[in-house]
C-alpha cells in the first residue's frame, strides 16, 4: 500500500530557529496537504498544494510540492512556543497520512 | 455549524458491545472521511463517502466496522462486537466536492473498550 515517510521523527529546537521537515512517498500524489495536531484535537489544515513544483506560504509557513509528485517539504521560520505539536503530511486522493514529525520548541 | 462536529467526544464501552460514532460535516461538503488514530501514530484511513455512497471502504479493518451516510450529510460509524484493539481516536473529515480539495477534521471521538 501507499506509505508516506516523514523526517525527522522529532525535533527539539530553540525559539526563533527555522524548522524544516519533509515527506516522501512511494507513490505519486496529485495533492499534498500539511496538518498540525495538538493533544486531544483533530488535525488542523496548514497548507494545501495542488500542483507539482508549487511553492506556497501561509504566514511563517512555507511548503513545496515536489516536481516528481512523490515528496513535499514544510518550513517554519522563526519558530515560537505555540508551534509545538505533531506535523503530518497527507497525500490525496485517499488522504493517506505520513508518520508525523513531533516538534518541541524550547525558550 | 462552522466546523466538523463529532459526538460523543469520549466513549467507554465494554468488550463485545456495539457502538455508534457520529459525524456532522461542514455544511455543503459532499465528501466525508473516517480515520482511526492510535497513540503516537498518524491517522489511518477507514472509509470515504462521496454524497450518500461509500466510494472507498478499503480501509475498514473487518466486517465488524460499517459506516453510513443516508442523506449525504451526517455519517455514523458503527462498530459491532467491540474488541480492546478497537480503542483509538476516531476522526472524521469533510471536504467540498472533489477529492483534490482540502479536508477539514473534527476533534475526534476517543473510544475506549474495556
- pLDDT 10s digit of each residue in chain B, 114 long? 589 999 999 999 999 999 999 999 999 999 999 999 998 889 999 999 999 999 899 999 999 999 999 999 999 999 999 999 999 999 999 998 765 578 899 999 999 999
- Closest-CA residue of A relative to B106 is A42
Q: Which residues of A touch B56 (CB under 8 A)?
A: 94
For cell 477529492, name the residue.
Answer: B99
Convert A22-57 to b/e letters by CB count within 10 Å (16 or more is b): bbbbeeebebbbbbbbeeeebbebbbbbeebeeebe
- pLDDT score of A95: 82
- Closest-CA residue of B relative to A31 is B100
- Write out pLDDT tens, residues A10-24: 999 999 999 999 999
Residues belonging to chain A with any Cβ–Cβ distance to chain B shorter than 8 Å? 4, 30-31, 33, 35, 40-45, 48, 50, 88, 90, 92-100
- pLDDT score of B10: 97
The CA distance from B40 to A104, in Å, is 15
The CA distance from B79 to B76, in Å, is 10
C-alpha cell recorded at residue A85: 505539536
Which residue numbers in chain A have pLDDT < 50?
none
Amino acid at each position: 500500500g501507499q506509505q508516506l515517510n516523514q523526517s525527522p521523527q522529532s525535533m527539539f529546537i530553540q525559539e526563533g530557529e527555522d524548522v524544516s521537515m519533509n515527506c516522501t512517498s512511494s507513490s505519486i500524489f496529485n495533492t499534498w496537504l500539511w496538518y498540525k495536531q495538538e493533544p486531544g484535537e483533530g488535525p488542523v489544515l496548514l497548507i494545501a498544494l495542488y500542483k507539482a513544483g508549487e511553492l506556497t506560504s501561509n504566514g511563517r509557513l512555507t511548503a513545496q510540492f515536489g516536481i516528481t509528485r512523490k515528496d513535499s517539504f514544510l518550513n517554519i521560520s522563526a519558530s515560537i512556543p505555540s508551534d509545538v505539536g505533531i506535523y503530518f503530511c497527507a497525500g490525496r486522493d485517499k488522504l493517506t497520512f505520513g508518520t508525523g514529525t513531533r516538534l518541541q520548541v524550547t525558550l | 455549524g462552522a466546523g466538523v462536529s463529532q459526538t460523543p467526544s469520549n466513549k467507554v464501552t465494554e468488550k463485545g458491545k456495539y457502538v455508534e460514532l457520529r459525524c456532522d460535516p461542514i455544511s455543503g461538503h459532499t465528501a466525508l472521511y473516517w480515520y482511526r488514530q492510535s497513540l503516537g501514530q498518524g491517522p489511518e484511513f477507514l472509509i470515504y463517502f462521496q454524497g450518500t455512497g461509500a466510494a472507498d471502504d478499503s480501509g475498514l479493518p473487518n466486517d465488524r466496522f460499517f459506516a453510513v451516510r443516508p442523506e449525504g450529510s451526517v455519517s455514523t460509524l458503527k462498530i459491532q462486537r467491540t474488541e480492546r484493539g478497537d480503542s483509538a481516536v476516531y476522526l472524521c473529515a469533510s471536504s467540498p466536492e472533489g477529492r483534490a480539495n482540502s479536508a477539514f477534521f473534527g476533534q475526534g471521538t476517543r473510544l475506549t473498550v474495556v
